[in-house]
Amino acid sequence: MAEQARENRPRVLVVDDQLSLAETLADGLDEHGFEALALSSGQEAANLLKGDDWDALVTDLRMPEIDGLELLRISRSTAPSRPVIVMTAYSAVESAIESIRQGAFHYLTKPFKLDELVLFLNRALEDFRLRREAASLRDALRSRFGPANIIGNSEALRTVCELLERIAHAASPVLVYGETGTGKGMIARALHSQGPRAHGPFVSINCAALPETLLESELFGHVRGAFTGATTNRDGLFVDADTGTLFLDEIAETSPALQAKLLHVLESSTVRPVGANKERRVDVRIVAATHRNLRERVAKGEFREDLFYRLDVVSLELPPLRHRREDIPVLIEHFLERAKQKYPRSQVCGFSKAAQQRLLEHSWPGNVRELEHLVERMVLLGRTREVEADELPSAIGQRAASSFQFAGDVVPLRELQSRYAAWALESLGGRRMLTAERLDINAKTLGKLLRADPEQGGDGAEREPDRSRAAETQGKST
């Protein structure tokens, strides 16, 4: 145990052209739990510093040949995080201050007590440890939420990942579209972790989960006494996310009054807490998400047009799982491994071919989230190594409602158009713009056709022949 403790001691290089002083300091550091080496040559110290075996450097400022500033430069070039403490005489304080500007942790004016050096060395090493842990956590965050961990290799998903990498380093807002369960939150985290704001906080809120008055206070904060129950000041999520990213999920569910305040923040980069007289400047990147068609909401007056255009600088549309079925097998393997780590006593190691076929044929209305929960459920409840098809819930295995099929009965032409449009969208990987182009109609007409399909959940309200013909004629003319 004593040998192990000795091996774990921080290694410190002590350099002074007066060897006796360097040896005295090194002996004292040894008694305080350090492993210290005394040197009187700046050149010899420079050679040793080119390795990464030293945890800290203590150096005199003025020395012949290679002085303390040069040793500082060499140390920072080989190990930028390694702390350096400079020793100097009173007459060289200005040079010592310059060493701080160049990255030294601290300087000590001779003569000084050993306890003072020990104190600052311990602080420097603790600071170094915290910085190293923070860097490790940032790397882990980038690894966990980076594009490489967005599971799937379908063309639709590759398109999303390519765009994500291009916009991650921008400061502009991003609007993420996608059905519930497609992974909008993961995309928001990937945008944060891959960009320059990764060191800052990532804050998220579901705008549909809170009533308007509470949501306003949650976002912008409040001052004490602003309303009943406001017994203390609260900063709000915009301030919490300062220098980082704020993810506003279900942005379409906010009220017009709250939308006006969000627009003000986007335009001025300032927030005013509820009940306050002064504004506070914030530096936040906004990532908003919705499963609704915001353009339609703007047309109906349910969403502010100016806010929409401020948010829609860059938009990402996440394909539903039924439009990237080729990703289902690899997703199953991914969720199976995660569930096995969570439930190590489970006997389940996979799904039979028949079970996998049923999973491939399912319509997945809950998308990736539904698949993840199903795999976890089967790992938790399964009693054999392979999950068989008859063990799956009865609802699993229904073919996607968008499959284009001719039934035995004749169907209205409008319904046939809608089914064909849905089939075309699925065949082209969920890419709406490409689908509209291939069908020779505009995106608005495609949206109407999809909503008119009763199997897609539409109400058929768009079925008047004249209105449909006019829309399609307009689409071709554009």
Enumerate domains of the chain plus CATH numbers: 2-135 (3.40.50.2300), 146-317 (3.40.50.300), 322-391 (1.10.8.60), 413-477 (no CATH)
pLDDT for 341: 92
Pairing of strands 386-387, 350-351: parallel
pTM for this structure? 0.60
Does position 137 have pLDDT exceeding 50, yes or no? yes
3-class SS at 3?
helix
- Do the beta carbons of residue 15 and residue 57 sit within 8 Å? yes
Average pLDDT over residues 149-163: 86
pLDDT tens figures, 365-398: 899 999 999 999 999 998 899 999 999 998 887 5
Helices then strands, each counted (H, E), the chain: 20, 14
Cα angle 189, 136, 130 (rounded to 5 degrees) comes to: 115
What backbone torsions phi and psi does residue 71 show, to the nearest 5 degrees?
-65, -35
Band of pLDDT at residue 337, cut at 50, 70 and 90: very high
**At what angle are helices 443-452 and 432-439 packed, to 10 degrees?**
90
pLDDT at 432: 82
Average pLDDT of the segment spanning 60-75: 87
How far apart are alpha carbons 108 and 288 in whole angstroms?
A: 51
pLDDT in tens, 269-328: 999 998 888 999 999 999 999 999 899 899 999 999 999 999 999 999 999 999 999 999
Q: What is the pLDDT of residues 174-228, one digit of tens each?
A: 999 999 999 999 999 999 988 889 889 999 999 999 888 889 999 999 888 877 7
The 10s digit of each residue's pLDDT in 444-457 is 888 888 876 544 44
Average pLDDT, the chain: 84
| pLDDT band per the 50, 70, 90 thresholds, residue 231 | confident
Q: Looking at residue 136, what is its pLDDT?
A: 63
Which tokens go with 20?
A: 């006796």
**Model pLDDT for residues 15-59, shown as the tens digit of each residue:** 998 899 999 999 999 999 999 999 988 888 888 887 668 899 999
pLDDT at 59: 92
